[in-house]
Amino acid sequence: METLPNGDVIVHGRIATPRGPIVKRLNFHGGKAAVDFDILFEWDQWPAGSLRLGHFTLLPDAFDLDGLSFRTSNGGALEDFALDGVVDHGAPVSMLVSSGMGLGLTEGWLDIGDAATRLRIKVDRTTAPLLGMMTHRPVRDHHHRRSLFCQVQLSAAELDDTRKPASYRDGPRRFRFSLAAA
């Protein structure tokens, strides 16, 4: 851990895995409500399958459940989606297709929240264009009150039946994204 003169706190670590190390660096901004994530996978080979990063889960008590929505651009104009039912972009279609949906994040961001509180998730598309995935389910809490499970994931890899047996691209890969108050 390191504290910078501007008040930012940097936390970093190296995790050994059977495929090779994963190096993580997080920058907690001292002057604003924001965290930057920098993740480097020092893997020589990449297996077939899905790789989802940045699981951002909302705390249900922090939001108006009736006013929850997310906004992003998927290649065109800005779109606003109400979260009033079940959404599951990460659900597998079959044993050979890991997901049937996703969010293009063509402008590099998604924001989520209600009229009072919004969060912005940004992706550094110059490093790696991650795919956004939303999971939203109305649930009941332990007191049987109306609640929700809502999570944004960033996908670095998905699997489908058209994938060739050869590796797409071997070698290390880096992913950068951030979370901030919108």
- The CA distances from residue 108 to 34, 130, 156, 158, in Å, are 16, 9, 14, 19
Buried b / exposed e across 32-58, counting CB within 10 Å, b at 16+?
A: eebebbbbbbebeebeeeebbbbeeeb
Give pLDDT tens digits along the chain (182 positions): 999 999 999 999 999 999 999 999 999 999 999 999 999 999 998 888 889 999 999 999 999 999 999 999 989 999 999 999 999 998 888 888 888 899 999 999 999 999 999 999 999 999 998 999 999 998 988 888 889 999 999 999 888 877 666 656 678 899 999 999 99
Taking the domains of the chain in order of start, what are their residue ranges?
Answer: 46-161+173-181
Which pLDDT score, from 0 to 100, does residue 166 have? 60
Mapped onto helix, strand or coil, the DSSP state of residue 35 is strand
